[in-house]
Amino acid sequence: MRDYNDLVKVAGRAAARAAEYIRAARRPHAQDWTEKGRHDFVTEVDRACETLIAEALTRDIPGSRVVGEELTPGLAASGDVVWIVDPLDGTTNYLHGYPQYAVSIGCVVSGALGVGVVHDVARDVVYRATTGGGAWVGDQRLAVSSLTQPGRALIGTGFPFKDQAPLDVYLRQFAAVMERTSGIRRAGAAALDLADLAAGRFDAFWELSLAPWDVAAGVVLVREAGGRVTRLDGSDEVLDHGPIVAGNPTLHTWLIDLLRKA
C-alpha cells in the first residue's frame, strides 16, 4: 500500500507547477479557443498543463497511471496508483479572466480514492486531503458546516451546460431548492465548489453531470472534512460520469430527498 502522505506531497508539487504555468501563460484570444463540445472549450494551456502534471506524477511515482480530461480521458482508472487529473477546472472562467479556476488532482490507490489536491490558481490557495488524515488548507483543518436548517443554507450547483437534455429536470430541482434555502450559487468550477463545501462555505452541492476528473480530488476533501458525497441514488461510487450530491450529513440527506421528489 502506498503512503498517502507521500502521494499528497507528489500531487501538491505537480499542481503547484501547473498553477505557476497557468499564471505565467498568456491567456488565449477567443480565436485560439477550441470547442471540443457544446459550450466546452479547451486551449493549449489546458493541454500543456496536463502534460506537465503527468510528467511530474509519473516521474515521482514510477509505474503510476494518469487519467486526464484532455489527453487520456478514456483510460481506465485501474492499477496500483492512478491519478485522476483536471489540469484546468473552470476553463471558461479562465478564458474570461473570472478568478474561479483550479488544478485538481485525485489519486486512486488499489481501487479506492485516497488523496485529493485542489490548487486554487487565482488565489494561490492549496486544499489537500488524505483518507484518514483529514482535509487541510495550510495548517488549518477543514470541517463542513454544522448548519442543519435548510432555510438558512447556501447551496452550490452546476448547470447542465454541455448536454441540455436534463435541463427540464434540473430546473425543477433548482426551483425546489431555491424555494427552501437562503441561496444558490453557481461559480463554474466543481473542484472549487467541493473545496468550498469542505471549508464550510457551502452547506450542500449538487450537479447532474460531472466527470471523474471534476470530482475526484474534491470528494476526498469533503469526506475527510466530515461531509458526504454520493450519487443521486445514494451510491458512494462516484468515479464515473453522472450526478453528484454532497453536503454536511444533515443537509446531504435533506437535499437528496428533495432532488428525488423534484
Angle at 133 between CA 79 and CA 213, to 5 degrees: 45
CATH number of the domain to which 167 belongs: 3.40.190.80
Clarify whether residues 156 and 210 are in a common domain: yes
Clarify whether residues 31 and 105 are in a common domain: yes
Parallel, antiparallel, or unpaired for β 183-185 and 140-141? unpaired
CA-CA distance, 41 to 109, in Å (whole number)? Answer: 30
Note down the domain range covering 177. Answer: 150-261
Clarify whether residues 131 and 15 are in a common domain: yes
Clarify whether residues 181 and 257 are in a common domain: yes
Res 78: pLDDT = 66
C-beta of residue 37 within 8 angstroms of C-beta of residue 162? yes
Q: What's the pTM value of the predicted model, to 2 decimals?
A: 0.93
Average pLDDT over all residues of the chain: 92
Q: Could you tell me the three cell numbers for 127? A: 486544499
pLDDT in tens, 178-216: 999 999 999 999 999 999 999 999 999 999 999 999 999
How many independent structural domains does the chain possess? Answer: 2
Clarify whether residues 167 and 189 are in a common domain: yes
Clarify whether residues 42 and 98 are in a common domain: yes
Query: Cα dist. 123→85, 102, 103, 130, 161 in Å?
Result: 20, 9, 12, 22, 26
Q: Could you tell me the three cell numbers for 83? A: 491519478
Clarify whether residues 189 and 246 are in a common domain: yes
Query: Cα dist. 137→143, 191, 199, 232 in Å?
Result: 11, 14, 9, 28
- The number of angstroms, rounded, from the C-alpha of 31 to the middle of its chain's C-alpha atoms is 28
- In this predicted structure, the answer to whether residue 40 has a pLDDT above a threshold of 70 is no
Clarify whether residues 28 and 94 are in a common domain: yes
- In this predicted structure, the answer to whether residue 39 has a pLDDT above a threshold of 60 is no
Nearest alpha carbon to residue 85 among 70, 101, 63, 100: 70
Clarify whether residues 133 and 204 are in a common domain: no
Q: Could you tell me the three cell numbers for 232? A: 443521486
Res 233: pLDDT = 95
CA-CA distance, 203 to 157, in Å (whole number)? Answer: 11
Clarify whether residues 128 and 166 are in a common domain: no
Clarify whether residues 59 and 117 are in a common domain: yes
DSSP 133-150: TEEEETTEEP-------G
CATH number of the domain to which 58 belongs: 3.30.540.10
Clarify whether residues 102 and 168 are in a common domain: no
- In this predicted structure, the answer to whether residue 166 has a pLDDT above a threshold of 90 is no
